Structure 1
């Protein structure tokens, strides 16, 4: 068995993780950021394609607070605070880590339009490309992985 060191891989062989972030669940969007930041930290390129209810996570100033929690009686804010109290990275920390490590953020034009969010302000500190499924698929690499969350 050979182990490939991603830092020594040539540009053509670099692995990529492409995430379709569809769910409007706070916990699922949070975990998509966990996966993205871990992939980035291990040398993989990452594209996060937010669509439908998950698109709210990219709205200004903190649209993620409007994501619905899966846990009954909780809010996105209370879950995030609880994570922080237990030493788990918060939503903002993960989003910043992804941006700092070079993640590509995309938001689905159709998803925004379907929810009437196309004119809402997006987070100014992130470079967010608005595009469609074809744009996302053209960004994905044949030698990468694609996950739907």
Structure 2
């Protein structure tokens, strides 16, 4: 028996915001909640595989050079050409805080559902094979139906 349902839209591809979304998702799932995460627009970067030259067509590949995923996501403030990302990850390691990829693995083990926004993927030239394994690629109507059953709904 679950303790309720949580629905999280991940709109931001920033490291600190991704960590917040994943922390809430894993915490809720560990507490017995049924959790769904819906990754849209810049949030797709959180679930994109690493590698710069990916994407659908030339424009998708060029767009991906500017908005890489995986380990390349940086903080929302003070990124300083990647130095902010390096400092934040170093501090996280020192304080024994998991990186997003590790938190994603934990979330998967806890049964968190990962959904990718089909329309955002088309607009941004992201193919399903550019993403880590997700439970489904869906439209917003599917997500809204899912979120309407949630006890907690967050937009991060």
TM-score, normalisation: structure 2: 0.77
Selected match of 2:138 from 131, 134, 137: 131
- Which secondary structure does the structure 2 equivalent of 1:17 belong to? strand
Alignment of 1:36-115 (within 5 A): 36-61=25-50, 63-72=69-78, 73=80, 74-115=83-124
Given that residues 13 and 42 in structure 2 are in contact (C-alpha distance below 8 angstroms), is that contact kept between their aligned partners in structure 1?
yes
CA distance change for structure 1 residues 108 and 88 in 2, over 3 Å: closer, same or farther?
same
Given that residues 49 and 70 in structure 2 are in contact (C-alpha distance below 8 angstroms), is that contact kept between their aligned partners in structure 1?
no
Given that residues 56 and 67 in structure 1 are in contact (C-alpha distance below 8 angstroms), is that contact kept between their aligned partners in structure 2?
yes
TM-score, normalisation: structure 1: 0.80
Give the number of equivalent residue pairs.
136
Question: 1:143 offset after TM fit, Å?
Answer: 4.9
Question: 1:131 offset after TM fit, Å?
Answer: 0.6
Please tell me the root mean square deviation across aligned C-alpha atoms, in Å. Answer: 2.0
Gaps of 5+ in 2: 52-68
- Which secondary structure does the structure 2 equivalent of 1:112 belong to? helix
Question: 1:79 offset after TM fit, Å?
Answer: 2.1
Gaps of 5+ in 1: 1-9
Question: 1:119 offset after TM fit, Å?
Answer: 5.7
Counterpart-to-counterpart distance in 1, 2:45 and 2:154: 19
Counterpart-to-counterpart distance in 2, 1:98 and 1:146: 17
